[in-house]
Amino acid sequence: MPYEIIIFAFLAGSTVFIGGLSSYFFEKTVLNRKIKIKIVHFLTAFTTGIMLAAVAFVLVPKGMDNLSISFSISIFLLGAIVFYFLDEYINKNSASIPQFLSMLLDFIPESIALGAVFIYDYNTGILLAIFIACQNFPEAFTSYIELRGSAFSKIKALIMLFILSFVGVVFSLIGFYLLRDDLELTSSLMIFAAGGILYLIFEDISPSMKLKNSRFIAFGVNLGFVVGMIGEALL
């Protein structure tokens, strides 16, 4: 079982570096500023759809299976409150790279849940890994652009994203070894992550995807959610 978790966690995390590398070539080859802006905003919308799908299809329903409704609501709101204060701290102390830090913020609890959930539901573990992988690619793509805009060199930005690719493996193993005997704690973490992710979507991500005179951008949310619908149907 641990080797399977390592493989899926690595595949889910590898899209961080792949997204950053794609953004590196995108920066070099696409020179039209208007096209660049539209693509970045569309990817942001796509990310939003995938994150909503992760919350709707995996984190909330699977988490609530093993918890009471009152406790689920409490943990869900706690996740939003904790992410609120973390987001506030990030904006005050690291205003130059909030998107990169927000990506790290939702990647860690999702990875812990990924490692733990494989024990109880193999298919849900695979589905969560797919969601994380699809979510990480566009997040890393836009994070690289953010890092470059904050005076990070190309090499340093790629190194940061490369290192982040392996964070998921570490925290997935932590989830596997520490939470495998505690179904309620695993479920609580999933609900907690859902609350935090939902807060981040509408506080940080969704507002940044808005682009004047380009209503089509929001359609990316629907396409991202469709990825979740397909994954749910297949698994």
Where along the chain do its domains lie? 2-234
Locate 170 and state its tokens: 């570490």
25-44, pLDDT tens digit by residue?
A: 988 888 787 888 888 888 88
All residues at 6 or more sequence positions from 91 whose CB lies less than 8 Å from its CB, including other chains: 98
Place of tokens 């509408």: 202
Give the pLDDT confidence score for residue 29 in this predicted structure: 86
- Answer with the residue of higher pLDDT: 136 or 101: 136
Decide if pLDDT at 69 tops 60: yes
Give the pLDDT confidence score for residue 9 in this predicted structure: 92
Highest mean pLDDT out of 17-26, 84-93, 116-125? 17-26
Alpha helix (H) ranges present in the chain?
2-29, 33-54, 60-64, 69-93, 98-120, 122-149, 154-165, 167-179, 183-200, 206-209, 219-234
Least confident of 33-42, 77-86, 92-101: 92-101
Place of tokens 């190194």: 159
